Every structure is written in structure tokens, then in C-alpha cells.
Amino acid sequence: MPSLFSKALNGVSVKHCKNTASSAAVRMPVPDKVVIPMIQHMGAPCEPVVKVKDTVTVGQLLGDTDAFLSAPIHSSVSGTVTAIEDFITPGGDKCKSVVITTDKLQTPCPDLAPPVVNSREDLIKAVRACGLVGLGGAGFPTHIKLSPKNLDQVDTLVINGAECEPYITCDMRLMLERTASIVEGIKVVMKYLELGSCVIGIESNKPEAIAAMTEAVSGMENVRVLTMKALYPRGAEKVIIYEATGRVVEEGKLPADAGVIAMNVATISKLADYLQTGMPLVEKMLTVDGGSVAEPKNIIAPIGTSIRDMIEFCGGYKSEPKKLLMGGPMMGISVYSDDFPLLKNNNAILAFDEEQCRPVKETACIRCGRCLRACPFDLAPAAMDKAYHMGNVDKLRELKVNLCMECGCCSYVCPAHRELAMYNKLGKRLLREAK
């Protein structure tokens, strides 16, 4: 049976392809239209609180819900609501979306004001009002993350600046361009959650970011920058927590169960900005790259902007894209149309040409063991592959398929080109259905 982190952390050496590392983020013009889905977070979808023909302003509330696991959604533009229609997210979830025709004025909502924060309760309330979610992963609502039931046992803040996926450089740019807001966000969270230490994890292939963050926190007690080996997937939550603290987040547990709050650099930066300005989460810095993109760059775009509009801002397509990804090539989600809008937790748009996504034929497992050696959690991907195809639910449970984070290391190293990470995902579905 696998034992989480029973030996030195595994992983794979991927091509970094950090083509936009030296490209400062550029704000794109306001598009003619945005489509803002009512689910951009882990948990329950929001319900629209506006109607067709309503005039809206930047930062105005568009959707909310009383559900525990959720986060409100705000308008990223000023303009007129022209439709409220069904929307299918890249992950297959169905929800409503608010379509806004923009007036290009970007008039801010008159009700916005910096929140007054004098206690942890004030902070949690402000974080929810911001609509803040994890901006480097699954979009877990941040106000819930900062409200663990065992807060008295949590003592460490881990800031994720690893950015281990190929191509993506927006977090590195953020550490260079918004260093002060990251530091201010760290101070606020440590103060109101009464955390004794903070570790900022950054991969070694980002020396400029390491230098900038090290200098920025040099006068802060119990805050340090950890330089990590550039080995994918160092940015995975459980992996960076182990690297930073030596603590293990067990299967089915949360970071708080290991005494840790983990946050992405973009999330902590936005928290600080919101406390200063009162403007909720309405835009995103992201990387646009890939062989089909004429001018790869880091951009700042309103949430709800279509992939087509963002790529057009980057010079358009220089060749027909064969695959569009929201996110990185290892864990990103493939989408079938460039009509899809930018979401809160999307940190990259990749448009790959034919050379970059040439299909390969899957063949039989040759039992080479490469997937075993690559898995960061010491799982047995080939065995889980076999158990899934046999429909053996008990074996999948024994092999701890639910511990798999679908990082794709196993698929990446497989000489038989087996889609092991995908089979693990399907294996999890089998377990859910069996319940």
C-alpha cells in the first residue's frame, strides 16, 4: 500500500518553456462583450441577482448564493446585461451565465469602498465579499480556507510561488511587479489568523523572483523564501506543504489538518489589493502562449473575456490551433472553442499547433516501473490502470486512487503512452458511483 512521501519527493523534469518570463504584464482593452459564468469556484453555483437590460458597473454583484461552499461573482466591466443563459464550463458543469455588452467606460460601482478590518471575523467577511478563490488551482473559496475549525492548531502560512507548469509565467511576473501587495497580504493573514511563521516556496528557475521576494521579506520575522528544485509538480498543494514544512496532508484531509494555510501568490496579492481599494476580484493576470499564438505575452484581462479576444490582443493566430488549453499542458483543461471565457482561477491560455500536439498511439503496459518512480505520492499508476479497466472498485480503494492529484507525471513518462492520469480520474468516478 502506498505511503505518502515515504521517501524523497518524486516528480518529472519537464521542459520549462518559460517564453514570456521577461514579458511584463500588459492590460488589454475592454472587449465588446464578456460572458461571466455563475460558477468559477469549487462548490455550489451562484444565482444571478441581475436581469436582462440592467445597467451594471465594474465590481457590482452579479451572482451569489447562501450555500456554504461558494463565492460571490462580480461584474468585470460596465455596460448592459444582454442575456442570462445556460453555460457549460470546461469541466462539464452546467450553470447560468451573465452576458454583458460593454460600454468601454469601466465605470466603477459607486457602492465600493475598502472594508474595515479589525478582527479575524472582519477579515473573513471581507474575503468573501471580494469573491476571492484560490487563483492557482481548483478555485477553493478563500474565506473558507481562512476559517478552519482547528485554527488554534494552525501555525504556518505557505505561499505558493512555485509555478511549476511549463509555459506559465504570470505568477513570476506578479512576484516581480506586485511584490509589495504580496508582502502586505502575508502580513494581514499572519496577523489576524495569529500564525507564527510563513514560507514562500519558489522554484529555482525563477532567480529574479527569488531575489525580489527575499529582499521584500528581509525585515520580517519568521518569514522566509524557500528555493525549491525545479521539478514538476513542486507547485501542487500537498507537495509544497511537505517541502516547506515537512508535514504530510493525508488522504481526505485539508492543509489545516497539518497545521498549515496554503495560498497562491496571486490570491494573497489580490487580498491585499481588495483591502486597500474595495474592488473585488474582476480581472486576472495570465499567460497567453503556444505555437499558434503570434505574440505570446502576459496580459491582464477582465474576467469573462473570450479566449478569442485575448489571443487577438496577442497578435492573433499565426497558424491553426490544434488544441486550446485553459491552464498548463500538464493539468490544464482542453476546450473545444475559443468562445470560452476567462475564469477566476485560469492562469494561462495555450494554443498549441500541430507540431506541439501530434497524437500518439497508446500501447500495452510494458511494466517498466517509470510511473512508480515518477509519482510524487508513491502511488502505483499502472496497477490503478488495470484495476480501473477491470472495474475493481475494492482494488482502486486499496491503491488509494483518491489520493491521486492527476498531476500527469505518470502519463508523461510512460513509454507506452498510456493515459494513466485520465484512468485515475475515471477510477475516482467509479468509487463515487459505487457509494
Where among 277, 296, 324 does a domain terminate?
277
pLDDT at site 2: 42
Specify whether 399 is located in the same domain as 310: no
Give dist(CA 16, CA 186) in Å, integer.
Answer: 28
What angle do helix axes 207-216 and 179-193 make, rounded to 10 degrees? 50
Cα→Cα distances 351→312, 334, 377, Å: 12, 10, 30
Instruction: Name which of 340, 349, 348 is nearest 34 in CA terms.
Output: 340
Structural domains counted in the chain: 3
- Evaluate whether residue 56 is within a structural domain: yes
Instruction: Give the separation between CA 185 and CA 165, rounded to whole angstroms.
Output: 24
Sign of the torsion angle spanned by Cα atoms 361, 362, 367, 371: positive
| Beta pairing partners, 100 | 34, 81
pLDDT number for residue 42? 87
Verify that 124 and 269 share a domain, yes or no: yes
Report which of 416, 426, 424 is spatially closest to residue 362, judged by C-alpha positions: 416
Packing angle between helix 179-193 and helix 170-177, nearest 10 degrees? 90
Find the CATH number of the domain harbouring 73: 3.10.20.600
Is 347 within a domain?
yes
In contact, 51 and 77? CB cutoff 8 Å: no
Residues 107 and 124 in one domain: no
Tallying the residues shown for the chain, one arrives at 435
Helices (H) and strands (E) in the chain, counts: 13, 17
Q: Which of 379, 418, 380 is nearest to 5 (CA)?
A: 379
Residue 8 confidence (pLDDT): 53
Query: Do 412 and 330 fall into the same domain?
Result: no
Indicate whether 181 and 269 sit together in one domain: yes
The answer to whether 243 touches 228, Cβ cutoff 8 Å, is yes
Residue 402 in any domain: the answer is yes
Are 106 and 219 in a shared domain? Answer: no
Contact 35, 304 (CB under 8 A): yes
Q: Which three cell numbers stand for residue 190?
A: 499572519
Measured between its terminal Cα atoms, the distance across the chain in Å is 22
Q: What is the pLDDT along the chain (435 residues), one digit of tens a residue?
A: 344 544 457 899 999 999 999 999 999 999 999 999 999 998 899 999 999 999 999 999 999 999 999 999 999 999 999 999 999 887 777 899 999 999 999 999 999 999 999 999 999 999 999 999 999 777 899 999 999 999 999 999 999 999 999 999 999 999 999 999 999 999 999 999 999 999 999 999 999 999 999 999 998 999 999 999 999 999 999 999 999 999 999 888 999 999 999 999 999 999 999 999 999 999 999 999 999 999 999 999 999 999 999 999 999 999 999 999 999 999 999 998 999 999 999 999 999 999 998 888 999 999 999 999 999 999 999 999 999 999 999 999 999 999 999 999 999 999 999 999 999 999 999 999 987
With contact defined as beta carbons under 8 Å apart, do 141 and 128 qualify?
yes
Predicted local distance difference test score (pLDDT) of residue 258: 96
272 and 285 share a domain?
Answer: no
Q: Which residues contact 173 (CB under 8 A, 6 or more apart)?
A: 20, 21, 23, 24, 25, 285, 298
Model pLDDT, residue 89:
82
Residue pair 431/401 in contact (Cβ under 8 Å)? The answer is yes
Strand order through the sheet with 33-37: 33-37, 94-102, 79-88, 55-56
Amino acid at 252: G
pLDDT for 130 equals 97
Comparing CA positions, the residue from 90, 93, 168 lying closest to residue 334 is: 90
Residue 7, pLDDT score: 45
Question: What would the DSSP string read from start to end of 137-185?
Answer: SS--BHHHHT--TTGGG--EEEEE----SSS--HHHHHHHHSHHHHHHH
Same domain, 219 and 269: yes
Among 352, 424, 412, smallest CA distance to 164 is for 412
Cell numbers found for residue 138: 481548483
67 found inside a domain:
yes
CATH code (residue 223): 3.40.50.11540
According to DSSP, the residues that pair with 226 across neighbouring strands are 201
Q: What is the pLDDT of residue 91?
A: 72
Give yes or no: residues 240 and 302 share one domain: no
Count of beta carbons in the 10 Å neighbourhood of residue 89: 20
- pLDDT at position 90, please? 77
Does one domain contain both 105 and 125?
A: no
Cα separation, 218 vs 221, in Å, equals 8
In a domain, 319, yes or no: yes
Do 79 and 100 contact (CB within 8 A), yes or no? yes
Do 180 and 273 sit in the same domain of this protein? Answer: yes
Instruction: Name the H helices within 281-354.
Output: 307-313
**Domain that includes residue 407, residue range:** 370-434
Q: Is residue 197 part of a domain?
A: yes
